[in-house]
Structure 1
């Protein structure tokens, strides 16, 4: 058997000359196949858009943290994003971009189910193909790049190539719009649920306030109470301040019980704050926060009439403060629920690509040239072996 090393350059050149017709035919056939492949192969278009790094919102620190956790309990990403830095929040956004919610938004917005490039695929297969064709990249600065690849059908004409390029840009832009839509709806949904919860608490405390006001009015009329001593006022003021904070902490702890597990850090922080205020509240009831507080007097040492009146005034003030606190947050959540402010800061919209991404004709030319050389080499090796075998048999 003839080895490759047995063919010298001179012998190879002689073989090429001898079988030049066959070599030319092989070259023509290979390049005809290459031309046909280049003509019929699908064209690939890629369009890219970009999003600025997400900004964390530090407003409404008390209830917003709870809203974020409420979003997490519904399967959202708000609680996850709340404790993350900017770059990690970008990673969360990159995962949302490939979620079923965003991809379904793209499919419905662009009516991709009837697109010529997706051949009326079942929705689950269409979702998978779109997810495979969408590339999300997050750089070190947190900027998110959204790139979409669209392939034409076989033997694409000029019109189809234009439609594919246009669709690639449309999908990337719909992805960005879908991200904004999903995040905005999630935030609005969280705000709506938080607003409903606060609304229920407002109704409860309003009933308590109405009841205490009626009781206080009857108490004043029956006992002719007009004014208390200045010392009593100071004690009431101190008690009200701590009681208000304690009530706020109790409301937040009540919300936290429905949002966090008892072992979570957020819940422990709320519980510790509540316990501390509760301890201070108990101390002031029995004679001041500190042992050296000579101004405060235990309320149980006042005449029963003064103590009862003080408690009624304290409860009224307490419920008024709680209602102010709850209503402020209620209106904030109502505004958040209704506002239509974009949540995604777009850096660049995707542009329709002017050139295809593939096939690259220069690369195709190199590949088919190498294929032609390889086929010719095998052909010459075969012919050389056959000539040598014939010579040996004749001898």
Structure 2
């Protein structure tokens, strides 16, 4: 048996080049056939159309009070505008992926009547829609919603037009349903807050009525109309009587130095002093005459003042709370009746004019690349096998 002889190291490049030239015609034929097959396949494979919309949450207005805003985590502004916007965007993104929104989109567009979603139950429809919708949140707070709809095999007739239109309709419907769900949530929350506030107002009004009744009873029992003014009048009266009493006692002391105790001047001054002392004692006990219905004993003033002040304090607190609750109630009524968009539309989805896939140029390029790589590997291997066979 002869020793196998093959190309030397110096001859190997020329040998491979000659082999490539030998199969050049075969390479061209394979490329043409492969391209024809791939391009032909691209005409019957599913066409995919992509359309998208860009939205963002509305700008949060600081300083807008309201019980519903206090009960929500998202609308509370703490001075971090970027974080607030991103939190709203993340919330919107979660809603866009929710089952409720996807079923709302299907019902709005009647997708079950289209050839792309017919004969699907709710679970299959939600799963299929979720796989077709891509939601992306950005640092700026905007949200992009991209929808891809495929025609299925043999995309002939109006399948391509319907798929392109459905992609745009689904993207826009996501925004519409998201806005509707947000409004329903806002209205529902405002209604619940208003109803809660109304219950608190009713309870607070009952407490106000009770405190007013207690105050009225206290005023009648203790002869109080306006405590500060009454105290001022009583003190002034006591000061006046006390001053007259001091003057009379001083005159009596001076007269007693010059006259006998049984003298007419001394007796008159003594009677005057006794009368003034009696009046002063009556002032201290709450009035100069028995028919005085608005004088208060001075010894009772501290306790009465404390009790009356506490009553007034409790009543004022309840009245201020009631005024605040009425303001909040009006805000919730406005929020409940407000019909403003909750989603800002930046770019509406439009019907795509070109398919997203398949790309025939890309398919042709990949086909040529694969054929070339296969040819580059097969020619040397074929030459080696042929050389070994010839030397056997």
- Which TM-score applies when normalising by structure 1? 0.69
1:358 Cα deviation from its structure 2 partner? 1.0
The residue aligned with 2:278 is: none
Counterpart of 1:50 (choices 39, 43, 54) is 54
The residue aligned with 2:226 is: 227
Does structure 2 conserve the Cα–Cα contact (< 8 Å) formed by 1:81 and 1:92?
no
Does structure 1 conserve the Cα–Cα contact (< 8 Å) formed by 2:111 and 2:118?
no
Distance 2:223 2:109 in 1: 75
Distance 1:192 1:353 in 2: 42
Counterpart of 2:39 (choices 7, 28, 35) is 35
The residue aligned with 1:339 is: 338
- The 5 Å alignment of 1:248-267 reads none
Q: Deviations over 1:68-95 (max 9, x none)?
A: 15xxxxxxx6679997432343233223
- Residues 1:87 and 1:336: Cα distance change in structure 2 (over 3 Å): same
Give 1 or 2 for the bigger CA radius of gyration: 2
1:46 Cα deviation from its structure 2 partner? 1.1
Aligned pairs, number = 316
The residue aligned with 2:321 is: 322
Q: Deviations over 1:169-219 (max 9, x none)?
A: 111111112222222222222222222221211111111112222333344
**Runs of at least 5 residues in structure 2 that lack an aligned partner in the other structure:** 233-298
Structural RMSD (CA): 3.4
- Bigger mean CA offset, 347-356 vs 371-380: 371-380
The residue aligned with 1:183 is: 182
Say which SS state the counterpart of residue 50 (structure 2) adopts.
strand
**Runs of at least 5 residues in structure 1 that lack an aligned partner in the other structure:** 70-76, 234-299
The residue aligned with 1:262 is: none
- Residues 1:7 and 1:78: Cα distance change in structure 2 (over 3 Å): farther
1:364 Cα deviation from its structure 2 partner? 1.3
Distance 2:318 2:204 in 1: 6
Say which SS state the counterpart of residue 320 (structure 2) adopts.
helix
Distance 2:208 2:166 in 1: 61
Say whether 1:12 aligns with 2:20. Answer: yes
- The 5 Å alignment of 1:187-198 reads 187-198=186-197
1:362 Cα deviation from its structure 2 partner? 1.0
Distance 2:202 2:231 in 1: 31
- Residues 1:231 and 1:111: Cα distance change in structure 2 (over 3 Å): farther
- Bigger mean CA offset, 178-187 vs 34-43: 178-187
Distance 2:212 2:40 in 1: 91
1:160 Cα deviation from its structure 2 partner? 0.9
- Residues 1:374 and 1:313: Cα distance change in structure 2 (over 3 Å): closer
1:350 Cα deviation from its structure 2 partner? 0.8
Say which SS state the counterpart of residue 158 (structure 2) adopts.
helix
- Which TM-score applies when normalising by structure 2? 0.69
The residue aligned with 2:243 is: none
Does structure 1 conserve the Cα–Cα contact (< 8 Å) formed by 2:39 and 2:364?
no
The residue aligned with 1:87 is: 86
Say which SS state the counterpart of residue 302 (structure 1) adopts.
helix
1:45 Cα deviation from its structure 2 partner? 1.0
Distance 1:211 1:384 in 2: 110
1:5 Cα deviation from its structure 2 partner? 7.0
Distance 2:66 2:300 in 1: 37
The residue aligned with 1:261 is: none
Distance 1:216 1:365 in 2: 94
Distance 2:365 2:198 in 1: 71
Say whether 1:67 aligns with 2:75. Answer: no
- Bigger mean CA offset, 338-347 vs 57-66: 57-66
Say which SS state the counterpart of residue 149 (structure 2) adopts.
strand
Distance 1:311 1:140 in 2: 55
Say which SS state the counterpart of residue 353 (structure 1) adopts.
coil
- Residues 1:81 and 1:339: Cα distance change in structure 2 (over 3 Å): farther
Say which SS state the counterpart of residue 116 (structure 2) adopts.
coil
The residue aligned with 2:255 is: none
Say which SS state the counterpart of residue 229 (structure 1) adopts.
helix
